[in-house]
Amino acid sequence: MPELPEVETIKNELTPIIIGRTITGVTLLWEKMVRQPSLDEFRSRLTGRKITSLSRRGKYLLIRLNGEDWLVIHLKMTGALIVSRDLSEPPRFTRAIIELDDGSRIFFRDPRKFGMMQLVKDTSSVVGDLGPEPLEPGFTPALLAEILAGRKAPIKAILCDQNIIAGIGNMYADETLFRAKIHPLRTGASLTPDEVRYLHRAIIDVLRAGIENKGASVENYFRPDGSKGTAHIEFRVAHQRGEPCCQCGTPIERIAVRGRGTYFCPKCQLQS
């Protein structure tokens, strides 16, 4: 699913294309993706509005419109935003189309129909409970140590909890724990001060690499121009079950942690 690097890539690549553009029309092909307000109000409040800025919070894309409204988009498991002036037909699995005044259209593609859009006055009503951003200066080793102190949940589950740390999901949590040499079932409280520092550095390095490589196109993620990201090519454990570990040659294993498929090296990431 799109995680922080994918949503950051979408934000970065959409910004020069749609900032300053005016929305001229909205077509909803899967109406349930609009969470609020009503469908008629959603269409009427979007149409004629100018896009003034784009930002990201966790895995959410926040589109500021002139006036007081924000269009909040979450791509969930399989969503992608594709922008084009030339496509005569919408891409397969398109669930919504936003038309712009320069003739381009934003296609919200979502095979599994989990993606959502909301039009709100205050983004805190949607993203207010998210944890700290891991790439912001305030996310320090000391803050991470404070976050983990006393937590008995598996570290993999902690990293994926958006109310604890925003933006990290399955793929990048697995890559982070491998880089830090921490078993995914270790509890947060069990990490030593050195391990917390290694984990902090790994979180930042893995996420920055994912952004540099324009996100991971493991399955359904596409960049706004329809091309794929390449971050998955450098994955060392995520989605690599049975492949030899790049460091020791041991086959990568997959287990479930709190219902999430989790990949790790049983030799490099010892449980105790």
- Beta strands 116-120 and 34-36, pairing class: parallel
Among the listed residues 2, 90, 134, 184, the single catalytic one is: 2
Q: Decide: helix, strand or coil at residue 97.
A: strand
99 is catalytic: no
Give me the DSSP letters along 159-205: HH-TTTSSS--HHHHHHHHHHHT--TTSBGGG--HHHHHHHHHHHHH
- Would you state the structure tokens that stand for residue 226, as one six-digit string? 């329809």
User: Cα–Cα distance between 84 and 149 in angstroms, integer?
Assistant: 48
Give me the DSSP letters along 224-253: TTSPPP-GGGG-SSTT-TTSBPTTT-PBPE
* Nearest CA-CA partner of 5 in 251, 127, 173, 119: 173
59 is catalytic: yes
Among the listed residues 59, 156, 179, 236, the single catalytic one is: 59
User: Cα–Cα distance between 258 and 260 in angstroms, integer?
Assistant: 6
2 is catalytic: yes
H/E stretch holding 14: helix 4-18
* Nearest CA-CA partner of 1 in 61, 78, 60: 78
241 is catalytic: no
Among the listed residues 11, 43, 76, 260, the single catalytic one is: 260
Cite the active site residues. 2-3, 59, 260
